[in-house]
Amino acid sequence: MTSPTGEQLPDNANLENLKKRAKQLLRDARAGEPGAADRLQRVMPAAAKPAAATLSDAQFALAREYGFASWPQLKTAVDERTRNAAILNAGPGDPAALPMLPLRDLIVFPDIHSPIFVGRPNSLRAVEAAGAAGPVFLCLQHHATTEDPQADDLYKVGTVADIRHKSVFNDGSVRIIVEGREPARLASVDTSRGYLTASIEPLGLPASHRSTGVDEARLLFRDAAERLQLPQPLRDELDKPADAGRLAGLGGQYLGLSLPVQQKLLELADPDDRLAQVVQEIERLRQAIARPPFDDYVGRYEMAPGFVTEVSRDGDGLVAACPWDRVTMFPVGEDAFAPKTEHIREADSLPLHLAMPTESRGRPLIYRFHREERGSVAWLSRIERGMTDWSEGRKLAEDAAPSRPSELPSDELLRYAGTYELRPGYEETIAIDRPGLVLGGAPLLPISGTEFFAATEPLHVTFKQNRTKQVLGMSVRGKRINGQYWKIQ
């Protein structure tokens, strides 16, 4: 909306000062000052008199003078400018505070658009608090299975990002597209607002940038993108001129690097250093895909007590078999495998900022093997449907038997039985079926006192309870059933 007076909102606008100006405008209008009365009359009904105006009328008039449709819109704009200024001006000992989203399996780099699926209640509240455009602080958690991460569960460097788009789904979850702005250091975490708030400090950029070797790095990256069959929109993007920061971000986001490598990359403050590291990773990836150590991956992985995925060699790839699925997959990165079918077609149909980055790179399914410090493969993670479904399990020794599912007493199982509501008119029932429960016809076996896993299909249920162990709801991740449910009876 264009300002009728041509007046622009100052960059240093202060909400308290604007409130005082609105009150002064109201007092002047009620006192009969012609200038103030005319300003109010422009936004009031023709029959109304400025002397009868309210504070809301004065705030509305002030908002219209600055080109906003309403006072709430003006307030939102000022709040965003205040947060942005705090981020840009913050230094050691003077951290800025932002709503924070802990991420299970994703790192967002500066200058790069990334889609994020948000389903955890705390994270949904953080998105709501951030508003339509953010900013938010995005930080990787150490373990994807941590449902309610605290400060010690998070890496100390993350990314300040702006929300560019938000979509709300029927189950209450949200999909946002963010644009990374700059890396920042996590100083502290506050949980008192019902969501995580991060106090952050800038990493501090070097005084000058070398910005050398960008064209050579772009050509090397372009060649690697062709060999790795990365999404076509990404390959098209690499044909365009780009600075070191954006090129390093594209490499970190879409090369399928392991999360520890991505995190170390993000922690480099100088974009030129990040780009140099990406070039090294491209060379390493090319060698890893050409000669993957297949024997390291073969074995049995316990994804949950009593539930095993068996990985075996199959020609130039691997086969991952479980009771409800059998997947043939091929190397797509260091210690990373994915099915060849569908992923290129699916990714190439999407704009770059809509294709899933990092682990999935637009693929519907990916397996990643993780190593211990001494280098041996120790566990496997399975990520499906854009990282909204995931599971991970430790590698079993050759002669080791799988763990037995936990055994819970009948009165413990009885607490979980009942009806749960996703939204009005959409309900699911939990029933007892010893030694576990049943949801939607799928038998659930207990992993712990509050977690259950289905061995017949990808389905994981975590029950939520208060301090008195009253069951409040359940978090469900699966293909047929997914979302946050609240117990209604």
Instruction: Give the strand pairing for 299-304 and 426-433.
Output: unpaired
pLDDT score of 481 more than 50: yes
Q: What is the pLDDT of residue 103?
A: 92
Q: What is the pLDDT of residues 417-433, one digit of tens each?
A: 999 988 778 889 999 98
Instruction: Give the strand pairing for 96-103 and 136-140.
Output: parallel
Percent over 90 (pLDDT), the chain: 16
Burial of 230 (0-12, 13-18, 19+ CB in 10 A): buried
Structure tokens, 195: 């969501």
Who wins on pLDDT, 55 or 11?
Answer: 55
Percent over 70 (pLDDT), the chain: 83
Cross-strand bridge partners of residue 484: 475
| CA–CA separation, 358 and 64 (whole Å) | 44
Q: What is the pLDDT of residues 213-255, one digit of tens each?
A: 788 888 888 887 776 667 676 777 788 777 788 888 888 887 7
Structure tokens, 21: 């100006």
Cβ neighbours, 10 Å, residue 398: 6
CATH number of 294-395: 2.40.128.50
Highest mean pLDDT among 79-88, 99-108, 350-359, 461-470: 99-108
Give a three-class secondary structure readout of the chain: CCCCCCCCCCCCCCHHHHHHHHHHHHHHHHCCCHHHHHHHHCCCCCCCCHHHCCHHHHHHHHHHHCCCCCHHHHHHHHHHHHHHHHHHHCECCECEEEEEEEECCCCCCECCEEEEEECCHHHHHHHHHHCCCCCEEEEEECCCCCCCCCHHHECCEEEEEEEEEEEECCCCCEEEEEEEEEEEEEEEEECCCCCCEEEEEECCCCCCCCCCCHHHHHHHHHHHHHHCCCCHHHHHHCCCCCCHHHHHHHHHHHCCCCHHHHHHHHCCCCHHHHHHHHHHHHHHHHHHHHCCCHHHHCEEEEEECCEEEEEEEECCEEEEEECCEEEEEEEEECCEEECCCCHHHHHHCCCCCCCCCCCCCCCCEEEEEEECCCCCEEEEEEEECCCCEEEEEEECCCCCCCCCCCCCCHHHHHHHCEEEEEECCEEEEEEEECCEEEECCEEEEECCCCEEEECCCCEEEEEEECCCCCEEEEEEEECCCCEEEEECC
Q: What's the rounded mean pLDDT across residues 75-104?
A: 68
Please tell me the pTM assigned to this model: 0.55
Distances (CA, A) of 62 to 8, 18, 54, 73: 11, 8, 13, 11
Q: What is the pLDDT of residues 135-177, one digit of tens each?
A: 899 999 998 878 889 999 999 999 999 898 888 877 677 889 8
pLDDT band at 205; cut points 50, 70, 90 = low
Who wins on pLDDT, 455 or 30?
Answer: 30
pLDDT band at 437; cut points 50, 70, 90 = very high
Q: What is the pLDDT of residues 214-225, one digit of tens each?
A: 888 888 888 877
Query: For residue 107, how far is the Cα from the chain centroid?
Result: 8
Q: What is the pLDDT of residue 104?
A: 86
| CA–CA separation, 396 and 403 (whole Å) | 10
| CA–CA separation, 395 and 308 (whole Å) | 9
The residue among 477, 455, 454, 470 whose CA lies nearest residue 416 is 470
Q: What is the pLDDT of residues 187-196, one digit of tens each?
A: 999 988 889 9
| CA–CA separation, 292 and 52 (whole Å) | 79
| CA–CA separation, 448 and 416 (whole Å) | 13
Q: What is the pLDDT of residue 364?
A: 56
Q: What is the pLDDT of residue 449?
A: 82
User: 90-202 and 294-395: same fold?
Assistant: no
Q: What is the pLDDT of residue 228?
A: 67
Structure tokens, 360: 């999935």
Q: What is the pLDDT of residues 286-311, one digit of tens each?
A: 777 778 889 999 999 988 777 788 99
Q: What is the pLDDT of residue 301?
A: 92
Q: What is the pLDDT of residues 388-407, one digit of tens each?
A: 446 678 888 887 877 777 78
Lowest mean pLDDT among 178-192, 195-209, 258-272, 298-312: 195-209
| CA–CA separation, 374 and 365 (whole Å) | 28
Mean residue pLDDT of the chain comes to 79
User: Domain map of the chain by residue range?
Assistant: 15-77, 90-202, 214-290, 294-395, 410-487
* Cβ partners under 8 Å of residue 180, min gap 6: 108, 109, 110, 111, 112, 114, 138, 159, 160, 161, 249
pLDDT score of 357 more than 60: no
pLDDT band at 272; cut points 50, 70, 90 = confident
Q: Say which CATH topology domain 90-202 has.
A: 2.30.130
The interaxial angle of helices 15-30 and 71-89, nearest 10 deg, is: 150
pLDDT score of 51 more than 50: yes
Q: What is the pLDDT of residue 175?
A: 86
Q: What is the pLDDT of residue 81?
A: 67
